[in-house]
Every structure is written in structure tokens, then in C-alpha cells.
């Protein structure tokens, strides 16, 4: 076993690898960029080195040398499937904890990979994959294969550059846009065309191979719950497969790995028709540890990172295929920094408070105080549970997510809970299009409950009551003979200002929401609200003028202030445009004094490699433009103020 290993990654995967290294008594070395200097993975390492970028091969190799590391674990993403990096490690005398560079190269090109595994007898999706197909040849190939057809870039993955075409008239534009995205994402616009499998399910097989000639599979994972080709929830085993189908798919995955001389952990991904579960086709092989590897660990009882390290150090696998058994069911949910209510735009901010479930495994790179920016992938953590059967595992994951609270950064946790309760998910009737088809119902009911608005207004009252002993300083509406109402404006993040009126003190008050009737309410610390006879506790944290509340997996960011005279709408004005996500201003398309029309693009904001164009909500004149290209902006920061022409 190695004495020292550098983990060439960040966030939750770096922390997870460190956990195994500590258990094995191996010294853990981290790298970090300037933005990550205070990150959790840096603090948990035995030693850490700064690098300009996680993609800087030379800097990573030099950090490993300076640390005296024996090996480099790449995690996933960044350099994990980079052939040049694997070769550079070997040239520097470092063991790359992954497959040989030749295997990475063979499977990194989809065209070459498809031909390689087909020669080994692995079923592949019918299609055309000759290198260098022209636009005309791609169109002809698509029509020959038969619509619907999937256009895919030969280089790269993650769904970038993929286009589903159902109508022949859509082919020219689909080919052009797929090439543009593939060229921008991977520097290579080579495309291939494949038959699109209707009602597809995404099922993958975990394989492991050592340097002594043993290759095994560890069963399958179902990854069909996706949005825009990004996985959301994964489980093991698949509710679709029986033992015979598992054996056939596993044997094909082992053959695919052996065809390229594979060593270490890898995943062979298949597309399977929900209508014909006995038919499966090779999609691609990921030559690294997968994000969803914990579900395999929970059903097999194996530590896949430990196996990676032992195989990389030359040890044989300590078991054969006959020794592999699957126990119970495991399911994992990915927690993303994104806002489902705003079209899943990336979010960010500082983690003000974090409560993780005690009845689940949580792989996370977060702790209180972590700054979540827009430079890296939006996945923050994974919540994983195990149950004796699938039904119990699904219920346990739902309960675990209900007790997961992150304040300061909007996340998708409430969306995950809604997805887990979807009837098709409960029944195991999955396909890769289920989430997209169900988005409206999964994101419904995102309005702020009345009790949350009441809690925000009473929190301000309680804070003022606690600030001093002079009763005249408390705006409780006291007047000789009767109590008046204290009006507050509560503004949910990205929402419309709402008037909340309070009569009395926080411990015993009447609260009226907008024009609604008064309701008896009280608030005490720690944050416990009684509203209309129902008592509820919240997690709470304050960030300047914003109060964050969390409960049952839901979070709310609420800005508030004492209401001045006038209508609630006048507090913000319809012409105030705010940033829909924290990020960088890429472009400003107007200037102060310009006349603009409704729908006109004004500012482009980028975060986590996603661009969002902010447009004018009305005709008017740009009265204020406080941002410039290159500026960093926070969520809900004012970008433009437009006034109606006079």
C-alpha cells in the first residue's frame, strides 16, 4: 500500500477519498485553487498545495512531487479521464490510480469505443460512427437508421452536444447546433448518429480489474432519473432487471473492459428499453470512479476507493465473481446548488447553517462558512441510504432529505423529495424522460406558505423587542386605548413583495397576510412558531437583511423591512432587474439613459458554465446600471433599474 497519495480534485469526492486514506493509514495530500484555499477538503488533508487550476497538469504533478506522494487519485471530473495526465503521472514516477492511458484513450472516443466493444461481442446501438462524417452524410445516415435519431459528439460526455431529432426537417439545424456545442465543449465537432431507443432506461455496470488477469462486475446501478442528461437519483440494484439479465449485462461489461486491457474501477453504461428489458445496448465506458459509486458500496459491502488503491499498488482483487453478492437496496440523491423554481438556474452564496441527516450516509465537501461560487460543478453533496428492499430505501431517503437543511445557498432538496414521491418513481417505472415530462408537477407549490411569512415578520419583532429595555423603541403598534398594526414587507428571493401586518408582540400576536384575516401567532427562540394553533420549528439564519428559514427539506430566503407609507409594490418597483443567480457579468448591452423595449436583452450573467440573459420587463429608460462586464454579482443583486418614460 502507498504511504502518501495526492487527490487531484476538490469538494465531496476529495473528502470521500481522504476518508478511506485515513482509515488505511495513508497520508492524504490536497490541491486547491485560490478560490478553494479555505475549503473543507483543504482542511481535512494532511498537507495541501496551491495550484492555478485543477486542470493544470504540470502544477498538479509538481505538487505531488513536492509532497513526496507515491500516487495520484484523480477522483472524477477534471483530469480523471485525461490521457495526457495519466501518462504524465507515469513519466514523473507517480502511480495513477486509474486505468492505463491506452484504456482511457480507447474508451474516451465514442466511435473507437463502440467499435472496440462491438468486436468483443458487446451489443451496440445501431448507427453510423465513421470518423469525419460531413453534414450531408450525417443527414443521410440519420434517415437510413430511421427517426428518431440521436446525434452525439464523439469526444466528451455529460450530455453536451447531444441532439434528439424526430423530424427530418429538424436535421440541418440540429447537426449545426450539435457541432457548435461539441466544438465549444471539447474542441472537436465530430458527430455520430445512433438510433434513439424509445422509453430508454440508463443502466450501468460497475467493473473492476486487477493486474493479475481478474476482471469482475459488481452488479448494476439504475440512473434513469435525469434532467438534461444529468443524473439526479441513482439506485442499486435496478428495479427492472432480474438475475439473468444482470448476468448477461455484467458479462458483456467484463468483456468490454477486457477488450481494452482495463485495470481498476470502471463503469460500462447501457441503454435499455423499458418496453424490452431483455435488450440492451452499449453507450459508453467511464474510465474512472463514478459519482454514484456509494450505492454499489452499500449493497456489496465493499469500499471501492480502497479497491482502487490496492489494485493500483499491484495487489490482486481479494474476491472472485462468485463471491460478489448484493444485499438489500441502496439509493442516492444528488444535492445541487440550483433553484428549481427559477428553471434550475445555478445558485451560490455562503453556507450559513448546515444540518445533515443522522440516518444516512452523506458525502459532502461542505461545512458552515463554505463559499459556493460559480466556478465549479453545482453538485454539493450526496445523500445515500440502504434498506432491506427498494420501498424501504426510498422512504428512508425521503426522510433523510427532510432532515437535510442548508441555509444560505438555494438547493434542489425539496425537488428531490417531490421526485421520490412521484407515483412512477415509487413503482420503479422509470425512464430517462420521466423527470422532464413531470417538471410542472414536481416544481408546483413553490409559493411561500403563510406561516413562513408570519415567522419572518415575527422574527423582526422579536429582534427589536430584544434589542433594548425601552418599550417606546418597539414598533408593536401600542397606542393609548388600542394596539395598531405594524406593517412589514416580506420579499421572498425572486418573488413579489408581500405585506405582513403584526399586532402585538412576538410572543402573543395577531398576523395578517396581505388582505387576509388576522391569525393568532407567536414566536419563541429557538425558532419555534405557533400559527393558527399549529406549532412548527424551523432552522434559521440571518445574512444582513435576509432571513433564511428551513424545514422538511424546504428553504426560504426572505428579505424584510418596516413598511413605509404606500403600496407594497412601490417598495421595489416593476423596473428593478435582479440577478437570477450569483455569477459573473459577461456582457452589458445597454447604458444609462438608453431607451429600451420590453424583452430587449440588457445583461448576460454566467455561472457554472451556464449563461442567462436578463431582459427588459417593460418599455422605458435605463435609470441606473450599477454593473459592468467582468463584475461579480450575488443572487438578487440589482443589475438594471428601468423607469417608464415620462
Query: Could you tell me if 165 and 148 are in contact, meaning their C-beta atoms sit under 8 angstroms apart?
Result: yes
pLDDT at position 42, please? 98
Same domain, 332 and 441: yes
Tell me how far CA of residue 173 lies from CA of 135, 167, 179, 639, in angstroms: 10, 11, 10, 33
What's the farthest any 2 CA atoms get from each other in the chain? Answer: 91
The residue with greater pLDDT, 446 or 112, is: 112
Same domain, 18 and 34: yes
Say if residue 478's pLDDT is above 70. Answer: no
For residue 559, name the pLDDT band (cuts at 50, 70, 90). Answer: confident
Given 269, 292, 327, the domain boundary residue is 327
CATH number of residue 181's parent domain: 3.30.1490.20
Same domain, 114 and 244: yes
pLDDT at position 561, please? 60
Given 570, 591, 621, the domain boundary residue is 570
pLDDT at position 184, please? 83
For residue 644, name the pLDDT band (cuts at 50, 70, 90). Answer: confident
Q: Is residue 256 part of a domain?
A: yes
Q: Is residue 234 part of a domain?
A: no
**Sign of CA pseudo-dihedral 308, 85, 8, 401:** negative
Q: Is residue 526 part of a domain?
A: yes
Given 536, 570, 604, the domain boundary residue is 570
CB within 8 Å of 431: residues ≥ 6 apart: 199, 200, 201, 224, 274
pLDDT at position 467, please? 66
pLDDT tens per residue, range 411-422: 999 999 999 999
Same domain, 250 and 399: no
- SS3 label, residue 486: strand
For 163, the domain range is 126-195
CATH number of residue 27's parent domain: 3.40.50.20
Q: Is residue 201 part of a domain?
A: no
pLDDT tens per residue, range 279-291: 899 999 999 999 9
Same domain, 636 and 535: no
Q: Is residue 202 part of a domain?
A: no
Say if residue 545's pLDDT is above 90. Answer: no
Cis preceding-peptide flag for 140 (omega within 30 of 0) = no
CATH number of residue 468's parent domain: 3.30.700.30
Same domain, 137 and 168: yes
Say if residue 479's pLDDT is above 80. Answer: no
Looking at 347-351, 397-401, 444-448, 625-629, which range is the least confident one?
A: 444-448
Mean model confidence pLDDT for the chain: 91
Looking at 89-93, 201-205, 225-229, 307-311, which range is the least confident one?
A: 225-229
For residue 161, name the pLDDT band (cuts at 50, 70, 90). Answer: confident
Mean pLDDT of 168-176: 95
Looking at 50-54, 339-343, 437-441, which range is the least confident one?
A: 339-343
For residue 260, name the pLDDT band (cuts at 50, 70, 90). Answer: very high
CATH number of residue 250's parent domain: 3.30.470.20
pLDDT at position 250, please? 97
Distance CA 111, CA 366 (A): 38
Say if residue 30's pLDDT is above 90. Answer: yes
pLDDT at position 349, please? 92
Distance CA 347, CA 408 (A): 10
Q: Is residue 230 part of a domain?
A: no
pLDDT tens per residue, range 584-615: 898 999 999 999 999 899 999 887 666 788 89
Same domain, 109 and 41: no
DSSP H helices, 314-409, are 390-402
Say if residue 567's pLDDT is above 50. Answer: no
pLDDT at position 441, please? 94
Same domain, 412 and 498: no
For residue 412, give the C-alpha cell: 434542489
**Residue 282: enclosing H or E segment and its boundaries?**
strand 276-286
- SS3 label, residue 363: strand
pLDDT at position 571, please? 34
Distance CA 506, CA 528 (A): 11
Q: Is residue 409 part of a domain?
A: yes
pLDDT at position 383, please? 98
pTM: 0.84
pLDDT at position 633, please? 86
Same domain, 338 and 394: yes
For residue 472, name the pLDDT band (cuts at 50, 70, 90). Answer: very low
Q: Is residue 200 part of a domain?
A: no
Same domain, 18 and 92: yes
For residue 430, give the C-alpha cell: 422509470
Mean pLDDT of 222-246: 95
Same domain, 415 and 346: yes
CATH number of residue 592's parent domain: 2.40.50.100
Distance CA 626, CA 471 (A): 40
Same domain, 493 and 565: yes
Say if residue 222's pLDDT is above 90. Answer: yes
Q: How many domains does the chain have?
A: 6
Distance CA 235, CA 425 (A): 11
Say if residue 540's pLDDT is above 90. Answer: yes
Amino acid at each position: 500500500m502507498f504511504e502518501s497519495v495526492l487527490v487531484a480534485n476538490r469538494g465531496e469526492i476529495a473528502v470521500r477519498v481522504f476518508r478511506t486514506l485515513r482509515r488505511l493509514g495513508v497520508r492524504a495530500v490536497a490541491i486547491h485553487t485560490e478560490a478553494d484555499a479555505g475549503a473543507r477538503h483543504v482542511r481535512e488533508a494532511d498537507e495541501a498545495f496551491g495550484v492555478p487550476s485543477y486542470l493544470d497538469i504540470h502544477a498538479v504533478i509538481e505538487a505531488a512531487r513536492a509532497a513526496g506522494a507515491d500516487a495520484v487519485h484523480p477522483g472524477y471530473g477534471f483530469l480523471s479521464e485525461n490521457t495526457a495526465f495519466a501518462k504524465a503521472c507515469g513519466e514523473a514516477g507517480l502511480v495513477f490510480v486509474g486505468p492505463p492511458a491506452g484504456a482511457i484513450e480507447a474508451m474516451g472516443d465514442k466511435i473507437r469505443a463502440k467499435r472496440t466493444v462491438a468486436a468483443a461481442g458487446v451489443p451496440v446501438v445501431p448507427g453510423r460512427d465513421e470518423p469525419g462524417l460531413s453534414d450531408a452524410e450525417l443527414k443521410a445516415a440519420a434517415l437510413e437508421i430511421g427517426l428518431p435519431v440521436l446525434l452525439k459528439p464523439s469526444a466528451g460526455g455529460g450530455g453536451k452536444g447531444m441532439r434528439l431529432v424526430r423530424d427530418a426537417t429538424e436535421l440541418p439545424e440540429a447537426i449545426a447546433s450539435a457541432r457548435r456545442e461539441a466544438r465549444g465543449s471539447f474542441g472537436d465537432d465530430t458527430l455520430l448518429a445512433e438510433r434513439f431507443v424509445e422509453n430508454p432506461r440508463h443502466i450501468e455496470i460497475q467493473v473492476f480489474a486487477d493486474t493479475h488477469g481478474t476482471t469482475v462486475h459488481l452488479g448494476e446501478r439504475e440512473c434513469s432519473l435525469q434532467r438534461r442528461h444529468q443524473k439526479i437519483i441513482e439506485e442499486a440494484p435496478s428495479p427492472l432487471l432480474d438475475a439473468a439479465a444482470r448476468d448477461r449485462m455484467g458479462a458483456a461489461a467484463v468483456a468490454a473492459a477486457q477488450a481494452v486491457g482495463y485495470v481498476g474501477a470502471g463503469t460500462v453504461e447501457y441503454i435499455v428499453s423499458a418496453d424490452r428489458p431483455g435488450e440492451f445496448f452499449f453507450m459508453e465506458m467511464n474510465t474512472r470512479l463514478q459519482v454514484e459509486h456509494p450505492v454499489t458500496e452499500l449493497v456489496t459491502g465493499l469500499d471501492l476507493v480502497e479497491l482502487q488503491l490496492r489494485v493500483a499498488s499491484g495487489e490482486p482483487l481479494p474476491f472472485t465473481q462468485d463471491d460478489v453478492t448484493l444485499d438489500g437496496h441502496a439509493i442516492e440523491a444528488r444535492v445541487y446548488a440550483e433553484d428549481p423554481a427559477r428553471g434550475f438556474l445555478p445558485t451560490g452564496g455562503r453556507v450559513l447553517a448546515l444540518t445533515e441527516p443522522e440516518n444516512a450516509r452523506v458525502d459532502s465537501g461542505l461545512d458552515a462558512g463554505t463559499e459556493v461560487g460559480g466556478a465549479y460543478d453545482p453538485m454539493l453533496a450526496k445523500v445515500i441510504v440502504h434498506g432491506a428492499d427498494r420501498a424501504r430505501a426510498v422512504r428512508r431517503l425521503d426522510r433523510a432529505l427532510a432532515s437535510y437543511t442548508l441555509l444560505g445557498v438555494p438547493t434542489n432538496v425539496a425537488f428531490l423529495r417531490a421526485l421520490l414521491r412521484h407515483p412512477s418513481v415509487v413503482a420503479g417505472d422509470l425512464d430517462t424522460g420521466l423527470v422532464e415530462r413531470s417538471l410542472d408537477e414536481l416544481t408546483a407549490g413553490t409559493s411561500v406558505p403563510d406561516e413562513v411569512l408570519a415567522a419572518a415578520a415575527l422574527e423582526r419583532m422579536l429582534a427589536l423587542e430584544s434589542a433594548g429595555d425601552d418599550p417606546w423603541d418597539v414598533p408593536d403598534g401600542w397606542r393609548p386605548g388600542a394596539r395598531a398594526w405594524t406593517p412589514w414587507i416580506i420579499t421572498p428571493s425572486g418573488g413579489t413583495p408581500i405585506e405582513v401586518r403584526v399586532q402585538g408582540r412576538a410572543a402573543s400576536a395577531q398576523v395578517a397576510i396581505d388582505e387576509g384575516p388576522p391569525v393568532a401567532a407567536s414566536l419563541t427562540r429557538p425558532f419555534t412558531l405557533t400559527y393558527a394553533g399549529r406549532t412548527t420549528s424551523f432552522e434559521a439564519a440571518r445574512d444582513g437583511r435576509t432571513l433564511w428559514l428551513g424545514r422538511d427539506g424546504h428553504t426560504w430566503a426572505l428579505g424584510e423591512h418596516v413598511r413605509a407609507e404606500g403600496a407594497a409594490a412601490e417598495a421595489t418597483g416593476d423596473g428593478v432587474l435582479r440577478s437570477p443567480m450569483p455569477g459573473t457579468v459577461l456582457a452589458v448591452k445597454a447604458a444609462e439613459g438608453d431607451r429600451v423595449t420590453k424583452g430587449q436583452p440588457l445583461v448576460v450573467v454566467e455561472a457554472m458554465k451556464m449563461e442567462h440573459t436578463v431582459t427588459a420587463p417593460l418599455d422605458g429608460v435605463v435609470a441606473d446600471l450599477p454593473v459592468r462586464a467582468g463584475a461579480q454579482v450575488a443572487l438578487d443583486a440589482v443589475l438594471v433599474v428601468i423607469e417608464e418614460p415620462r
